[in-house]
Structure 1
């Protein structure tokens, strides 16, 4: 594909000349069969890529996937499907891209949202049979280069994609004006499915605890740590003024901290039970310290309100989609790493409650103790996590439909 003069000038100014490409020294062997290259902007798009890969493989074809992220993004080293390899993306240079493509020989480049990288995209010219842009949204396409350059080179860059799936009509219309598209190359599909996890639990545990709790209102501080004990205690005391039988489940991210967590609550004159001791709940129990291993699937099923732990103090939040998938209305503070994208989706439609202080946490719990208000938040969250299935299935059909008959 020919380059526009403006695009060529931009790439020259950005230093898109020959230089050593990143990575490649420790790459494993290319898997047999068809390989699809997912390019992700951020690590929090990994669940979307995993859900898309599963949809593509649903018909039984043995696809393999290479997912790359920009330098500096933390690539997870566990919990990922074996048919997806996560790597640092190649340098956007002839040498870097050639080395990557020569090794992996991908059939298709799938650009999964985020800012476009002109150098990387252009260097795939004549090297990859198909390029597809997914989850395109107007506010994230700017390439970080300023409006003047974007308005002049966006068209030549976007024209390199065989198909573009836009999140909304506004994005589609803008892209249609920027590109040479006169047909159906750009379509609106909505957001990709983010792959909400469904956490399991032992049914006998759920039944026994539900019977022990009876009609008591319950909320959970999910994956919380010692650093938040004081804030969560203050919030619980405040919310309990409205519902004196309210019980808090403090789900300890680090079970070995259970004893100290319980001591801290007891020092504040709360009646506490540690789950790891096997002690029974009583009518007087105010706080259950859940320190017997990972059981969030159990607590989300029992508690209609879930505070996402560590979002007030930092240190890593649990996945809010996991709570939403089991019907828990979520509350979160301002520190949402490593799931900022998911929290932003929920915030945008009122499908969670954002707070900044322990006082606001207590107020949010008070508000959501009203079943109708908790149900509205939980339903809105369910709409968010389930709305992407259509876009993911459409993308999967598109990617799989035109792949060559013979694998590289």
Structure 2
């Protein structure tokens, strides 16, 4: 067992490690962009490659030197801060005006694309629990089933927004409808996950009810007291960060994880476009260029591709991927068709709603921290998230979606009010995890 490092030794290891992370994330992101994929996909893969699945396998001495346990412990703090700020930016970007004129259809598509994956995921979990369930939390098989169902239900809002921009759909009727579906979907899924975390993290029914009661009270406080107070103000960045950090601290204290506090802080911020854009620009560089790549490495350390060392485990991975696709892509596509969309447009909506990306990995990390899932299941679900994100761009090209708005068929041309209804889906998004066009 190695001797504990001094603070100076930790810094000597951490600084080159951080440099390696930043460079690897940039290179992998650029490579992914050249392949027609969202940059975040390459950056996640880079984080996994720097972990034991590749670097630790090919050059274990280098991995042990660059990422000793004490350094990884320090990086985990940065990673958690990055997650909180990322969730804040995610909440900040949700534009409720996108629901205008699309409300009923968006709610129908989004709720089915949450409910169906939830049911399929929970059903799969009942079979999977004796094989790959975790040993933490108080939820048992119920908590495991609810968590897996919730994890299947998420859509990566930032990745979806970037795909809309790159395909020219962001100013079309279909683009507006899809972003509205994703907004409702994400709010529903995050609320559902908060309930699941409360159940799993509690010691019993009474504790779970107390946690949920406190969480509901806090949400009401933020929405109906803090939000009106901020509505007509332009709070300075230091005040914004204070609100984000205290909100994250409060939800962690309640027992529903700090990321929910970060997300809620973004939701209650003033909706003034220019102010949101300014806040996004000032925070985005540090979050997207440093903090989230550090998170990818902490994920990479936990993601053990070598643990999927048999056809049995790869079969489970394939099953999880199939269930995820059937629930999300299938549910959104069929519901969109039943609400009056053509099969082509319905499939486009389904493909976009099926992207999971970074948001899925955030949820899986919460489950791993709570002990709900094992490292092997975590790895299998990460592979599922990568596959469902990777398949989006090629499928959209196969559907003929790739030209800029106005060049495609009439149903993909800009609607008269689409620009007004869709400012934020690509507005303040300037990060690699959404819509910054150079990336």
Same fold per TM (> 0.5)?
no
Measured against the shorter chain, the TM-score band is under 0.3
Greater C-alpha Rg? 1
In terms of fraction of residues, the more helix-rich structure is 2
TM-score for both structures, normalised by structure 2: 0.22
Q: Which has the higher strand share?
A: 1
